[in-house]
Each structure stands twice: as structure tokens, then as C-alpha cells.
Structure 1
Amino acid sequence: MQWWTLFQKELIENMRNVKWIWVPLIMILIAIMDPLTNYYLPQIIEATGGMPEGAKIQLPDYQPSDVVMMSLGQFNTIGVLIIALISMGTIAGERKNGVSELILVKPVSYLNYITAKWASFVLLTLVSFSMGMLASWYYINLLFGELSLVALLHILFFYGLWLMLVVSLSIFYNTLFKTPGLVAFLTISTIVLMGAVTTVFSHILEWSPSRITNYIQKMIVTGNVPSDLAGAAIVTLSTIVLLIAASVVAFRKKELAS
């Protein structure tokens, strides 16, 4: 009951901040941007004055798998940035303003406090991401060809794990620092560093969470879930659990020390 009460509080707070409106809208916008832009590019060029005389534009023959990866590419950049920004003050802001002390002065479990916040942002992120990908899937099937519902569900599951990892990183840094801007910076920096390290040591880090997007592309092309994707998913899920546990421990130490 305590956890559910805290979870409801977070949901209401996100509703009051209108996050349940603008976050899904932005996710939908970034998901459909590439499919629509690439399909209607000739018309867009023509409407803006056309090409210079004698110049020609040769557009690639995009397959559904190519276009859906464009949408995921937008989530890899803008989507990650949005998640970092919406969650950067969820604990850091309350610690800085003294709100967390008012809540924890009651017999509130540190575990319940952390996991309720984590779950609320995971729910917001996954719902918004799913709405964006559903919109992208609709336009891909309409304009470029068929992308199966099974493929879409696989994308939602595996890429959803990656986004959950981003939320978990943000929650972890929230427990360490009281400055929301620093939390967002460290979250994004960690994601960038993970990608760089994975690229350099790709022959070793085959199950790195940063490689989920690449394995998803392979899955869409072949129609089968690669074993490396399953391995990366397990590592990602394990990392999420470790980050949540570390967040609880760090937050407890910070609160007891203060």
C-alpha cells in the first residue's frame, strides 16, 4: 500500500506538470519525422523553389526496415535527451528543496521511495515511446511497405529495455547529486561513453546494452531474434537491477549522513 501511494503521487505529479501530454507528443513527432520527410522530400523541395536547373536528386529506395531504424535513431539522440531532462529533478530537486526529508520523516521505505519514482518514469517513457513507434509503424506501412506487427512488438520490448536503462541511470545520479542539471549531464555523458567504449571494444563487449539498436536492425532484416540481442537484453536487465539497488543504497547513505 505504501509503494502504491507513492507511485500514485508520482503519476499525479507528472500529470500536473503536463508531462503525460507533451512527452508523448514529442515522442510521436520525432518518430514520424523521418518517415514523412523522406517520403515527401521531392514535394518539399518543389514547394520550396525546386532544384537548380540541371540538378537532379536521386532518392534511395527505402525499405521498411531502413525507415524504422531512422525512427530509432531519433530516439537514440533526442529521445534519450528528453528522458534525461524529464527525470533529472525527480529526486535531486526534492533533496535540494527539502521535500524528500518531509516524506522520509514518516516511516517510508527507501526502497519504496526509489522504485516508485523509477516505475512512474519508466511507465511514462514506455507509453510515450510505444505511441511514437505505433505512429511510425502506421506511416511506414502506409508509405513504404509492410512491417509486421510481430517485428514492432519485438522493437518495443528490446528497445524499451534500453530506455529503461536510461531512466535507471538518471535515477541513480539523482540519488548522488542535488543539482538536476548535473544529473542530466552525467546521464547523457554516461550513455555517450558507453557507446564509445562499446565501439572501441566491440569484439569483447558483444552483449553491451549500447549494441541493442544494431541487433534490432539485424532482427528486422532476418525475421529472427539474434542470440546476441537476447544476451544484450539480459545484460541490460541485470544492469537495471544493479542500478536500482545501488540507488537505494546511495540514497540511504546520503539521507542518513545528512
Structure 2
Amino acid sequence: MKQWLTLYKKELLEMVRNYKWIWVPLTFILIAVKEPMTLYYMPQIIDSLGGLPEGAVIELPVPSAGEALAASLSQYNTLGVLIIVLITMGVIAGERKSGVAGIILVKPVSYARFVTAKWAGVMLLIWFSYFCGYFLSWYYVGILFEFISFTDFIQSFFVYGIWLTFVLTITIFFNSFLQSPGAVGFITMGITILLSLVSSSLSHLLDWSPALLSVYTNTLIMGNGFPEELMPTILISLFMIILSLFASIAIFRKRELA
């Protein structure tokens, strides 16, 4: 356990030195807060741009608080996922390519501890950044529109967080056998986009797909309660996260020993 904590602290310290504890939370906050403010001030923004016929009146439907928060969360489904992939795609592949991983593993360091320490370090950063952004988005939606139940906020926070953890774990998985961070990022984004498209197109067949967690999160935000498919989807997602993590350790050990 002491060895794992040492590796874990190393990851946290490295992210401090790379200023990730500053720019990643700030980016998540900007992504989340921008959407409700844009929706609220959209008529004024359009009016300030000009170019409308004289006497024209802008009448846009006022979104509900749930719709505003769901729109904010949808930004994480694109930009948020991209940021996660960018900050994770070289976490193991980069060290393998530079030889740092080999130097660390020459010592009596467990492969499982090496991989899980990196996974846990990045996950803490992502969940912290995600909470900061999502909480401020919930707060601004409450100020500008109407406050959503804090219970619904917490439930939706944890449900969508499982999807972000799934994306992180898939990125770690490809890190375990690819040495090019660019290849890791490209393949992970491709699989994530493909899984989201297929799951949304065939939702009646793949209603337990992890990619549909964002859809079920919107249902929670709207105050419609737990969908029937949510709990099986959460269990399957957690199982796939654990399975991918174990597979990452096994493949990484085999590649390094080879």
C-alpha cells in the first residue's frame, strides 16, 4: 500500500507541475457555465449583433431550468470527453515511449500498482474538475432560471460521472499497449464517438449501453425520476470499467515483460 501511495503522490505532483490542477478545472468551469448564460442572454446577444429589419421583435422560447442544465452537461459530452482524452492519452504511453516507465518498473514495482495509481490520479483530477464545473453550472441555472433540486443534481452528477470514468478507463486501456499518445487519443475518440452514435441510433436494442448514461442523466435533471434502464446500465458500466482496468494491467505486464 505504501508503494501505491508513493506512485499516486507522484502522479498528483506531476499534475501540479504541469499546471493541470489549474487549467483543467478552469476549462471545465468555462465549458459548463457558458451554456446557461448564453441561453439566458441569447435575445440580447442577437439584438446587439444587429442586421435585423426595423421593428422586428425577437421572441425566443425561455428554456426551463432542466433544459438549461442539460444543455450545459451536453458540452461535457463533446468538449469534456475531448479534454479527458487529451490529458490521459500519454499518461502511460508517453512514459513508455520516453523510457520513464521502464526505469520505474526496473525497481520492484507492481504493474497493477503502476497502472491503478495513474488511473486514480487522473480520475481525481477529472472528478474534481467536473464537480467544480457542474456545481457552478447548477448554481447559475438557479440564479438565472430556477433552482433544480439538489438531490437531482447529486444523482445526475454521479450518474454522468460514471460515463466520464468509463472514457478515462478506455483511454488507459489503449495506453497499456500503444506507445504513441496520438494513436491512443485518436482511437479512443473514434470508439467513443462510434459508441455514442450506435447507442443513440439503436437505443431500443442497446438501452444498457454506457453511452446512454448521458441520456438518463437528462431524465434525472428534468425531474422525471430514475428510468428503468438506469440501474442495469450503471452496473454494466461499472463492470466494464473494472474489466478494462484489469485488462489494462494484464496487457501492460505482458508487453513490458516481452
TM over 0.5: yes
Q: 2:162 matched to 1:161?
A: yes
Separation (CA, whole Å) in 1 of partners of 2:16 and 2:161: 22
Query: What does 1:1-258 align with in structure 2 at a 5 Å threshold?
Result: 1-49=2-50, 51-257=52-258
Counterpart-to-counterpart distance in 2, 1:99 and 1:159 = 34
Q: Where does the alignment leave 5 or more consecutive residues of structure 1 unmatched? A: none
Shift of 1:124: 0.5
Instruction: Indicate if the aligned counterparts of 1:151 and 1:223 stay in contact, CA closer than 8 A.
Output: no
Aligned-partner residue type, residue 253 of structure 1:
K
Deviates more, 1:4-13 or 1:217-226: 217-226
Q: Which amino acid aligns with 1:141?
A: G
Instruction: Provide, for residues 113-169 of structure 1, a one-character-per-residue CA deviation record: whole Å limited to 9, x for no partner.
Output: 000000011110010000001110111000111211111101110000000001101
SS of the equivalent of 1:176 reads coil
C-alpha offsets along residues 37-90 of structure 1, whole Å, 9 cap, x if unaligned?
111122223333363324332211211110111011100000000000011111
Please list the CA deviations of residues 216-248 of structure 1 after superposition, one character each: whole Å capped at 9, or x if unmatched.
122232442222111111111111001100100
Bigger mean CA offset, 82-91 vs 223-232: 223-232
Tell me, in whole angstroms, the C-alpha distance in 1 between the residues paired with 2:117 and 2:52. Answer: 54
The one-letter code of the counterpart of 2:42 is: L
- What code does the residue aligned with 1:139 have? Y
| TM-score normalised over the length of structure 1 | 0.96
In structure 2, give the amino acid aligned to 1:241. I
Per-residue CA deviation, residues 11-61 of structure 1 (Å, 9 max, x unaligned), is 000010000000000000000111001111222233333633243322112
1 CA distance for matches of 2:68 and 2:58? 19
The number of aligned residues is: 257
**Alignment identity in percent?**
47
